[in-house]
Structure 1
Amino acid sequence: MGRTVTLVLVDDAGVPLGALPPFKVQTPWWQEVGDVVAGARLRYGVDVDVLRLVDAEQAAPPGGPVTYAAQLRSGRPDRLLPVPMPMGVHPARAAYAHPNGPRASVDWAAGQLAGLGRPDVTAVQLRTWNLSAIWRLDARGRPVAWLKQVPPFYEHEAAVLRAVADAQPGIVPRVLASGEHGRILLADVEGTDRYGADAGECAAIAADWHPVQVALADRVDKLLAHGVPDRRDPVARIRQVAATRRIDVPGLAELVDGLDRRLGKVAECGLPDTLVHGDLHPGNVRSGGQRRVLLDWGDAGVTNPAYDVIRLTEGLAPAGAEEVVHGWALRWRADAPGSVPERAVDLLRPVAQLRAAVTYADFLGAIEPSERPYHAGDVLRCLQAAVTAARAVRP
């Protein structure tokens, strides 16, 4: 499954010039634009910066016909197709989605690397969407750094990375620099993202992360002072998001009405609040075989550590998930005597899905309308999953 891509080219002032004829790329995921940039160069001899999603024929990714706005950097296309595109600038548009935004960010990263003795880099655009833009920075054909840029609601990521690195160097990418508009320059991490990891690898990820969470449980006030989000009390926001779906999702009203009681039972389980990654699935872990590095900290915050093992085991078969949770619980019982970690996991499974619904609802409220197809169906999906999880274990 791939995509059929249409690029609406704009000039440096953002004025539409017309569209390149549609072309196909193999990668189906809309936010991945490395093959889009390469395809425009190969097929039409133009260099572009992809700015943002304009339209898609499908309701959600992956695949299908997709239209992006892209700034023409060099080259003269033989022909461009007339295409209407609104000229207005939406107030929620990310800095990297404006004309000249990508170039300004790449220039900033190149300047930072030059100051570190690496003046010879070439930037390769890999991703852009409402949650981040990512470039790989190569020197002599090898990656040396990564530029990540995030919207305002994720600008705490650099502070989180530094806090984790202080607790355990090497478990996160090294921050080389951070700047305005959510820019973060990261040292290269060798290896591959561990999508599809088995239970053994997930258990190793949990074991790597555990001592850091134990150490940071004693630094919660410092984390909050440095801008790490406080996610300890989600009830009010969950109720707001669920309010319009109480009738549509059978069982949701009962679940939400019982949240205070459920979270009171969680508190009795005795786990300390600490830093939580917030989206600890194996795809957010990179490894070359020697070590594992945890990536993408935008959803991080201070709350119960059980949320991370719940997310980590979501893609595993039941027996594998149980094995990972068992090992995780043994470690927490040793470091938090008297705690009941497995009970906390059971109680928080539906809350984790409710929190995910809130996260997606907040995304939808913070991004421009053309970007909303990425998440439009996720709120309802997570609310339904929360009810399913709640039926499995009663508080």
Structure 2
Amino acid sequence: MGIPERMNDVSAQPLIDWAIAGLAEQGITADGAPEVRNRDWSIVVRQPTDRGVVWLKASARGFAAEAGLLVLLGAAAPEHVLQPLLADPDRGWFVTPDGGPVLSDSGAAGSGQWISLLTGYADLQRAVADEVDALRATGLPDMSPATLPAWWEKVLDRAAEEPDVPLGLADLDALRGLGGQVAAWAAELDEDITSGRLPLSVDHNDLHTDNVFVTGGELRIFDWGDAALAHPFTCLGLALRTATGIEDVPTGIDDGPLRAAYLQRWAGPDAEVPTWMQRSCLLAEGMSYLSLAASWLRLPGGFGPEFAGYFASFLTGFRDFAADPQLPTTG
């Protein structure tokens, strides 16, 4: 039986039975009733045990790569993720220990915390830089630069089909008119990959403080269901917009030091960050609007008014970036 397309009406009991049996083999005993939450895209279960709370997750088809990805990341960069206690990648199921409080629980993260998060994320990306085939094997969607023009067309087609997306025909025509610019910028980012200057890596695609555990003073990233194989710098788009509050209430944080600290991990500790890398970073941040919108194509069913508004904001965000990209020139 294949992985369901949507999970809102799927029973959690097979997941619970599998997890309890697997945990018992590790000497961990369920100790209390499970608490189940069904959404279209996943089932999440809070299960008390004699060793503390554990979390069970079963993902819908479009998000099922998370199980295999977590196994890979747990082996390559265990200091940056929660290693699963159990995983069945073929079914998109896994179990993790409780990660403790999330970064947002203590209020708005400061600049130092963001720098720790982003430099740690760069280290994780570099740790899997030689694992592109393994990343692909998990089922991660391919959002590498070469694929972005095709994703752009799919995103605009979905926007036209969704009745709740607050964009008119004139808006969509104007966005389609940006197709040539999308292709040119995608080709520029693809040159980073094909030239060997940078590797493809994993883009979390939803990196913000609600998705980061603070475990014993260390930051561990979770909720990898939206992840994709992409240009590594794409991850900074949503992260820096969240850090600075551009899309909500300004936080007073300057994104410059955050970006610089992240890029320094790629340039090397004693190297000057080259202009081409700075340009690629800003360009990838702008193109991240496409990746975010493309990720939402995995959602089963229609968006509804709330999600449709978010989806439209990715498209208008890219439109605004394209109108004034402020990219440094190279050579």
Name the structure where strand makes up a greater proportion of residues.
1
TM-score (norm. length: structure 1): 0.67
Alignment partner, residue 36 of structure 1: none
Task: Give the whole-Å Cα distance in 2 for the aligned partners of 1:126 and 1:373.
Answer: 25
- Which one of 55, 62, 65 corresponds to residue 146 of structure 1? 55
Asked if structure 2 preserves the Cα contact closer than 8 Å seen for 1:333 and 1:340, the reply is no
TM-score (norm. length: structure 2): 0.79
What is the correspondence of 1:132-211 to structure 2 with a 5 Å cutoff?
132-139=42-49, 143-179=52-88, 181-194=91-104, 196-211=108-123
Alignment partner, residue 286 of structure 2: 350
Asked if structure 1 preserves the Cα contact closer than 8 Å seen for 2:57 and 2:95, the reply is yes
Task: Give the whole-Å Cα distance in 1 for the aligned partners of 2:276 and 2:129.
Answer: 17
Equivalent position SS for 1:114: helix
- 1:161-216 CA distances to partner (integer Å, 9 max, x unpaired)? 11112212232112122246432111222333436322221110111122221131
Alignment partner, residue 218 of structure 1: 130
Cα offset, 1:134, TM superposition: 1.5
Equivalent position SS for 1:136: strand
- Which one of 258, 261, 281 corresponds to residue 324 of structure 1? 258
Whether 1:287 and 2:214 are equivalent positions in the alignment is: yes
- Which one of 268, 279, 293 corresponds to residue 334 of structure 1? 268
Q: Which has the higher contact order (CA 8 A, sep 6+)?
A: 2
Task: Give the whole-Å Cα distance in 2 for the aligned partners of 1:374 and 1:330.
Answer: 38
Alignment partner, residue 232 of structure 2: 305
Name the structure where helix makes up a greater proportion of residues.
2
Matched residue pairs, number?
297
Whether 1:103 and 2:7 are equivalent positions in the alignment is: no
Asked if structure 2 preserves the Cα contact closer than 8 Å seen for 1:354 and 1:383, the reply is yes
Q: Is the deviation greater in 334-343 or in 384-393?
A: 334-343
Cα offset, 1:339, TM superposition: 6.8
Task: Give the whole-Å Cα distance in 2 for the aligned partners of 1:316 and 1:226.
Answer: 30
Alignment partner, residue 235 of structure 1: 149
Cα offset, 1:325, TM superposition: 0.5
Question: CA 1:333–1:254 in 2, change beyond 3 Å: closer, same or farther?
Answer: farther
Alignment partner, residue 383 of structure 1: 315
Cα offset, 1:256, TM superposition: 2.3
Equivalent position SS for 2:94: strand
Equivalent position SS for 1:302: strand
Task: Give the whole-Å Cα distance in 1 for the aligned partners of 2:104 and 2:70.
Answer: 19
Question: CA 1:247–1:123 in 2, change beyond 3 Å: closer, same or farther?
Answer: farther
The amino acid that maps onto 2:289 is: Q
Equivalent position SS for 2:56: strand
Question: CA 1:342–1:375 in 2, change beyond 3 Å: closer, same or farther?
Answer: same
Question: CA 1:193–1:112 in 2, change beyond 3 Å: closer, same or farther?
Answer: farther
Q: Which runs of 5+ in 1 are unaligned?
A: 1-90
Task: Give the whole-Å Cα distance in 1 for the aligned partners of 2:321 and 2:52.
Answer: 42
Task: Give the whole-Å Cα distance in 1 for the aligned partners of 2:183 and 2:117.
Answer: 31
Question: CA 1:119–1:288 in 2, change beyond 3 Å: closer, same or farther?
Answer: closer
Equivalent position SS for 1:383: helix
Asked if structure 1 preserves the Cα contact closer than 8 Å seen for 2:296 and 2:311, the reply is yes
Task: Give the whole-Å Cα distance in 1 for the aligned partners of 2:24 and 2:216.
Answer: 30
Cα offset, 1:220, TM superposition: 1.0
Percent identical pairs in the alignment equals 24
Alignment partner, residue 58 of structure 1: none
Whether 1:266 and 2:189 are equivalent positions in the alignment is: yes
Q: Which runs of 5+ in 2 are unaligned?
A: 161-166, 245-251
